[in-house]
């Protein structure tokens, strides 16, 4: 049975097979979680992103999809980059796109042989997705994936950066 864990902390310090990055569709780096992962992982991650951009064209990682790179100097085995939706009041299919971020990231992780995955709270920073709505989508998407793929993963962690975000996720994972 897959364990779902909630952690308050820095996702770049997680020792897991896969860290998921809340990236942008261009894989060009950015702020928030994306910036922290690139800074901590070093230039190897950006070099791998450049290679994906050259191979896939633009955008190399459309909203809701995922791609995998090296983890560089991170303690993880790989980084899965997924581009979350920009929140527009929920009228533009954001929930389905966000759900796809989680399921496509998990599918890619499982395909690579990963057993442990750590997620940030995707799209809840500068992309403006309300944490109360995004957390429900995230937890349900992960629960559905692990139910459909029993035994594929040992652990999925939700790693949040603030006590306020932790308070939103805690009852959903109780």
Catalytic positions: 34
d(CA 131, CA 133): 5
Contact 86, 127 (CB under 8 A): yes
- The DSSP H or E segment spanning 3 is strand 3-8
Phi-psi map region of 143: left, alpha, beta (phi>0 left; psi -120 to 50 alpha): alpha
Start-to-end CA distance of the chain, whole Å, equals 16
Maximum distance among all alpha carbons in the chain?
A: 43
- The DSSP H or E segment spanning 20 is strand 18-23
d(CA 56, CA 50): 10
């Amino acid at each position: 049975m897959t364990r779902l864990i909630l952690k308050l902390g820095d996702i770049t310090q997680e020792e897991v097979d896969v860290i998921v990055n809340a990236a942008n569709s261009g894989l060009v780096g950015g702020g928030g979680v994306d910036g922290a992962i690139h800074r901590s992982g070093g230039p190897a991650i950006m070099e791998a992103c450049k290679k994906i951009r050259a191979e896939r064209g633009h955008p190399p990682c459309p909203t809701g999809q995922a791609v995998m790179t090296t983890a560089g100097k991170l303690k993880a085995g790989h980084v899965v980059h997924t581009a979350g939706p920009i929140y527009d009041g929920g009228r533009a299919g954001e929930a389905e796109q966000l759900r796809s971020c989680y399921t496509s990231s998990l599918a890619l992780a499982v395909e690579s042989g990963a057993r442990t995955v750590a997620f940030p709270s995707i799209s809840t920073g500068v992309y403006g997705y309300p944490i109360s709505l995004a957390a429900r989508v995230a937890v349900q998407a992960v629960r559905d994936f692990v139910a459909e793929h029993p035994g594929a993963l040992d652990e999925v962690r939700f790693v949040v950066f603030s006590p306020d975000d932790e308070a939103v996720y805690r009852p959903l994972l109780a």
